[in-house]
Amino acid sequence: MTTEKIFENEQDFIEQYREACMTKYGSKFEECSSQEQFYVLAELIASKARAIQTSSHTKEEKKVYYFSLEFLLGPLLDNYLINFGIRDLVAKGVESMGANLEEICRQEVDPGLGNGGLGRLAACFLDSMAHEGIAGYGNGMRYRYGLFRQYIEGGRQVERTDNWLANGFPWETRKDGSSVLVRFGGQVVRHEENGHFWFTQEGGEIVRAVPYDVPIVGFGGKVVNKLRLWSAEPYTEDFDLDAFNAGDYARANKFRSDVEAISTILYPNDAGEHGRMLRLKQEYLFVSAGLQTILRTYEREFGQDWANLGKRVSIHTNDTHPAMCGPELMRILVDEKGVGFDEAYQICKETISFTNHTVMPEALEKWPINTFRNLLPRLYMFIDEIDRRYRDNLATHLSPNDGNWTSVLEKTAILWDGQVRMANLSIIFSHSINGVSALHTQILKDTVFHEFYEMMPHRFNNKTNGVTHRRFLCEANPSYSKLITEAIGDGWLDDAMELEKLVPFEQDASFLEGMEVAKKADKERLAAYVKQTSGVVLDTNTVFDVQVKRFHAYKRQLLNVFKVLDIYNRLITDSSYNPRPTSFIFSGKAAQSYTFAKEVIRLINSVADVINNDERVNDKIKVAFVPNFAVSNAQLIYSAAEISEQISVAGAEASGTSNMKLMMNAAITLGTLDGANIEISELVGPDNIKIFGLHADEVDALRASGRYYAWDMYNSDRDHLGRIVDMLTDGTLARLSGNFDSIHDYLMVDNDPDLVMRDFHSYVQAWSELTEFYGDRAAWNKSALHNTAKAGYFSSDRTIREYMADIWHI
């Protein structure tokens, strides 16, 4: 560990920055564009980070490798300046050079390395592992293109390529010397000598996995870890010269482009699985390359002491995407290191742990056995053998005559119905299986993984998610953070539980006024961004009511827009109706192939178009859809929010993390008892959150009864709810791009699968009460401050400490 200073002082920083401009561009600082100034500064900070990284850990420290197909990092410059404790020094230095740090930071492009909650959680965990000082490393994929950039045209989501690497990624270092080879396809050959037999793999396609390392700076700057991202390249230069000479350039390059395709694009996580070969290749590539590297390092440090691998190394698998870690680790130990089958299995189980992130059955990954076996023949042999032993073992515990036996097997076997089931593979190879909120873990135990839970209850545990408050409060909300630090000092950056010290300030009128001033400034900042990106002009005297997250039916953005339409209809029909003036802000992407979610986006934009252009209601309500939700603009939105919409149908959202980010930023939650909302509610108490709707057990019971009828909901309230359903198809909302027949049918033909209509009245009522409460500014601010004061628990530092204690044993 080192505590050396990054820069001696402001003058030292300026000199180094100037020199770096000259070295990279041959230009003076003043002659560089803001974009060039950004690249130089980022590379300068990255080089400082790398220098610390090399001496951050000793070999005796246990290493954690966090395997994830996604790390939604967000811009890093501002974050690293904060974590190094040099943000003020650099800001002053830049200012004295005649430039502006914020303007320079704004040049940074969001790395396209994740979808949503799962990927952002992985990024928060990297920050917290470095903060806790452990040797915690990320292992993932370096996608050439991110998900997609979202534009709104005619109200519709339009997807364009996210070429986030176009100008280079200044934080990464390519490590050619650490490349490894990964084999796909080919045959398994059996050898025998003196009664001993072993297997080798031959033929197939060999791909070179090239790592790119990104430094991860821990707060305080003492520990710098790294994130290793893999890129696929051809092993041999199989350029087809004959084809080239014949003028067939596509064929000449085919081999190269087939291989590079593996790391070309990030898959959407919520579009369902359709046997996507490339995805399977991605999963194996980063698993195999990561494990080969881990074992290479281990062997260098500890020799062939494989029995102790699990004591010195933890491999954490983020959802089922890295599920091949188990069999691949076995393959290497058995085939390449000479470890026996049983011992290798014990080592794997001791080393590997697994987090599940959703209860949606469609999300559980499965691969056709034939596809799998052809692509990974040797790996499949290990899976087949482990599955066989698992079944034998089960048979000794449950009699095959026992009616349970087949049903347990049907739920828990790895191989079933011609498919490899990745969740079961993950569970069978892990010593720990965790959910991401108390309710979610309970649902895993009770339903999704119930049979496993009965057999191995000790493996199951909960780890309620958290978010890094250094990014989502300190960096996202400088004005509020300043106020907090003036009140309680800056210890909260290191220890988020110190935010509790804000509780006495709930009685401090001048603090609460200061809070309101800060929030107003943040609303202005967001309003300017909204105007620039969507053209909608928001009045910052209105309540900012925010729902920002991926679009999915279960998250019920539809319920939110129904509420907006209800307010609109009442404003038009009832002159005595006087709701609190509100700006409804939405943001989020829908998977490209997820038609329903895209229709909800079009509906929101159509409703926005109608309402924002109706002078009768304009001083009361506005609707804005912020395009291309990403970590960077999320930070602007969270800080300006006053109401946090967390309205998923109970039992569906594993945890949610925007609920935590918004709570920190003093937004009050309007939500169902779902995911981590329940824990937020327990922490802040009933006066500081607004809960509505059916509970998870009521949702289950209603669905099981088979007695829910959307038409009953419609008929029992023709004037309000019924009217809104009619508006979907009667042309009222069609001005921009047509009616919404499919949403109508989802409700009225498919019988409202997410109980939007069932929770509608309870939701509308809760919203009116909450916005009524907003009128008492002092009481609201007190309650909002209480949300921040209690948010310490939702720092990912706490979550990581729990992983360390209970799962990784550090």
CA–CA distance, 77 with 382 (Å, rounded to integer): 44
Question: Rounded to whole angstroms, how far apart are CA atoms 62 and 316?
Answer: 13
User: What does DSSP assign to residue 434?
Assistant: E
Residue 56 or 655 with smaller CB distance to ligand 26V: 655
Q: Which of 360, 398, 413, 748 binds ligand 26V (CB under 6 A)?
A: 360
3-state SS of the chain: helix, strand, coil percent to 5? 55, 15, 30
- 206 versus 360: smaller Cβ distance to ligand 26V: 360
Q: Tell me how far apart the alpha carbons of residues 792 and 669 are, in angstroms, rounded to a whole number.
A: 16
Q: Which is nearer to ligand 26V, 360 or 487 (CB)?
A: 360
Total binding residues for ligand 26V by CB under 6 A?
22
Q: How far is the CB of 481 from ligand 26V (least distance, A)?
A: 24
Residue in 110, 132, 475, 653 binding ligand 26V, rule: CB under 6 A: 653
Which range touches ligand 26V (CB under 6 A), out of 1-9, 48-56, 269-277, 765-773? 269-277
Q: What distances in angstroms separate CA 774 from CA 542, 636, 780, one per listed residue?
A: 10, 22, 6
Examine residue 121 and tell whether it contacts ligand 26V (CB under 6 A).
yes
Task: Give the whole-angstrom CA distance, residue 403 versus residue 49.
Answer: 60
Q: Which is nearer to ligand 26V, 120 or 786 (CB)?
A: 120
Q: How many CB atoms lie within 10 A of CB 96?
A: 12
Instruction: Return d(Cα 133, Cα 717) in angstroms, integer.
Output: 58
Burial 260-287 (b: 16+ CB within 10 A, else e): bebbebbbbbbbeeeeeeebbbbbbbbb
Residue in 112, 116, 579, 792 binding ligand 26V, rule: CB under 6 A: 116
Residues 319-358 vs ligand 26V: string with x where CB under 6 A?
A: x-------------------------------------xx
Q: Quick check: 648 and 624 in contact, CB under 8 A?
A: no
Among 118, 483, 600, 785, binds ligand 26V (CB under 6 A): 118
Q: By C-alpha distance, which of 805, 628, 699, 590 is closest to 359?
A: 699
Amino acid identity of residue 192, one-letter, is: E
Closer to ligand 26V by Cβ: residue 293 or 465: 465
Which residues, 544 to 573, sit near ligand 26V by CB under 6 A? 552
Catalytic residue among 412, 542, 657, 672: 657
Q: Is 623 in the site for ligand 26V (CB under 6 A)?
A: no
> Which among 142, 226, 357, 378 is annotated as catalytic?
357
Q: Are 162 and 112 in contact (CB under 8 A)?
A: yes
**What are the residues facing 461 on neighbouring strands?**
434
What is the rounded CA–CA span in Å between residue 512 and residue 786?
Answer: 11
Cα 674 off chain centre by? 18
Residue 155 or 656: the one with the smaller Cβ distance to ligand 26V is 656
Q: Residue 152: beta bridge partners?
A: 157
Residue with the CB atom nearest ligand 26V in the bound state: 117
Question: Is 461 or 540 the residue whose CB approaches ligand 26V more closely?
Answer: 461
> Residue 802's closest CA among 490, 455, 355?
355
Q: Which of 661, 690, 758, 786 is catalytic?
A: 661
283 sits near ligand 26V (criterion: CB under 6 A)? no
d(CA 560, CA 423) in angstroms, rounded, equals 33
CB closer to ligand 26V out of 97 and 360: 360
Q: Between 667 and 696, how does the x/- string for binding to ligand 26V read (CB under 6 A)?
A: --------x---------------------
Tokens for 30, please give them. 């003043």
Q: Which of 107, 128, 225, 269 binds ligand 26V (CB under 6 A)?
A: 269
Other residues' Cβ atoms within 10 Å of the Cβ of residue 177 = 7
- Rounded CA-CA distance 428/415 in Å is 12
Contact 8, 19 (CB under 8 A): no
Query: Which among 297, 227, 220, 222 has a CA at the least distance from the CA of 52?
Result: 222
555 catalytic residue (yes or no): yes
Q: Which residue among 87, 550, 552, 602 is the active-site one?
A: 550
Span near ligand 26V by CB under 6 A; candidates 83-91, 112-120, 374-382, 477-485? 112-120
Residue 84 has a CB neighbour count (10 Å cut-off) of 24
Cα-Cα end-to-end distance for the chain: 18
User: Using CB under 6 A as the criterion, what x/- string covers residues 286-325 for binding ligand 26V?
Assistant: ---------------------------------x------
Beta strand spans in 268-418 (E)? 313-318, 352-355, 366-368, 415-416
Beta-carbon contacts of residue 781 (< 8 Å; ≥ 6 apart): 512, 513, 515, 516
The yes-or-no answer on residue 549 being catalytic is: yes
How remote is the C-alpha of 52 from its chain's centroid?
28
Binding to ligand 26V, residues 370-409 (CB under 6 A): none
**Among 112, 117, 215, 290, which residue interacts with ligand 26V (rule: CB under 6 A)?**
117
Least distance (Å) between residue 463 CB and ligand 26V: 9
Residue 810 and residue 66: Cα distance in Å, rounded?
A: 14
**Considering beta carbons, is residue 460 or 568 the nearer one to ligand 26V?**
460
Position among 280, 621, 654, 673 found at the interface with ligand 26V (CB under 6 A): 654
CB closer to ligand 26V out of 633 and 657:
657
Q: Is 657 in the site for ligand 26V (CB under 6 A)?
A: yes
Least distance between ligand 26V and beta carbon 355 (Å) = 7
Q: Does 49 bind ligand 26V (CB under 6 A)?
A: no
| Cβ–Cβ under 8 Å, residues 524 and 514 | no
Residue owning tokens 């309620």: 464
**What does the per-residue mask of binding to ligand 26V show for 413-452, with x meaning CB under 6 A?**
-----------------------x----------------
DSSP β-bridge partners for residue 233:
208
Active site residue 589: no
Q: CA-to-CA distance for 182 and 206, rounded, in angstroms?
A: 6
Between CA 54 and CA 770 the distance in angstroms is 52
**CB nearer to ligand 26V: pick between 91 and 118:** 118
Contact region for ligand 26V (CB under 6 A) — 207-215, 265-273, 618-626, 636-644?
A: 265-273
Q: Which is nearer to ligand 26V, 342 or 362 (CB)?
A: 362
Stretch that binds ligand 26V, among 111-119, 568-576, 697-705, 802-810 (CB under 6 A): 111-119
Minimum distance between the CB of residue 122 and ligand 26V, rounded to whole angstroms?
A: 9
Q: With CB under 6 A as the contact rule, which of the stretches 268-276, 606-614, 730-738, 751-759 interacts with ligand 26V?
A: 268-276
Six-digit token string for 335: 């085939």
Query: Contacting ligand 26V (CB under 6 A), which of 168, 272, 275, 738?
Result: 272
Does residue 136 interact with ligand 26V by CB under 6 A? no
Q: Which of 434, 465, 612, 787 binds ligand 26V (CB under 6 A)?
A: 465
Smaller CB distance to ligand 26V: residue 351 or 358?
Answer: 358
What letter represents residue 546's amino acid? V
Query: How many angstroms separate the CA atoms of 348 and 326, rounded?
Result: 6
| Contact residue for ligand 26V among 60, 362, 574, 719 (CB under 6 A) | 362
Beta pairing partners, 643: 545, 668
Catalytic residue among 226, 316, 469, 555, which? 555
Least distance to ligand 26V, CB of residue 271, Å: 7
Beta strand 460-462 with 432-435: parallel, antiparallel or unpaired? parallel
Q: Does 656 bind ligand 26V (CB under 6 A)?
A: yes
Q: To the nearest whole angstrom, how small is the minimum distance from the Cβ of residue 273 to ligand 26V?
A: 7
Active site residues: 357, 549-550, 555, 657, 661
List of residues contacting ligand 26V (CB under 6 A) = 116-118, 121, 269-270, 272, 319, 357-358, 360, 362-363, 436, 465, 552, 653-657, 675
